[in-house]
Amino acid sequence: MTEKGRKRPLLAVVLAFIFPGLGHFYLRKWGRGLLWLGLLFTLSVVFVVTGTIQPVSELTLEAITSSYQARPTEVTIGSVVVTTLNVVDAYWVAVNENQTREIEAGMKCPNCGKELDQDIDFCHWCTTQLETVEPDKQ
């Protein structure tokens, strides 16, 4: 069970893998999510030549497969790169946000898990240096 306010990095990764931007929407990073979604949309619009992909009139597996195979290679490679970077960013944002909340709340050390003293900027149990990270404004 997660603590109140903590985000699940694995859920953010799965959502980001399903569709770029969804993991960031789960993390309530609206601007970042729209940026990833816009990047994927822009990639598709810029590299797909009008008329190369026929509209799908029926939702059959054959029609969807032929539409997918008609995509230029650049779009496929770009989509994989954007999705991979999006997944990594969603994981990083979730972990970073959880660490920031724990440090600000004076709860636990991100390294050893023991309670922290708010007056010092390192864990007096394991001597891990604590960094305060500014939360994103997005």
Q: What is the pLDDT of residue 6?
A: 80
Tokens matching residue 40: 């994927």
Tokens matching residue 8: 């699940």
Helix (H, G, I), strand (E, B) or coil at 138: coil
Contact (Cβ atoms closer than 8 angstroms) between residue 133 and residue 92 = no
| Separation CA 69–CA 17 (nearest Å) | 20
Tokens matching residue 73: 């290679």
Give the pTM: 0.64
| Separation CA 69–CA 82 (nearest Å) | 19
Q: What is the pLDDT of residue 33?
A: 94
Contact (Cβ atoms closer than 8 angstroms) between residue 9 and residue 95 = yes
- All residue ranges of the chain with pLDDT < 70 are 1-5, 48-57, 103-107, 132-138
122 forms beta bridges with 129
Domain boundaries, the chain: 9-105
Q: What is the pLDDT of residue 114?
A: 81
Q: What is the pLDDT of residue 70?
A: 75
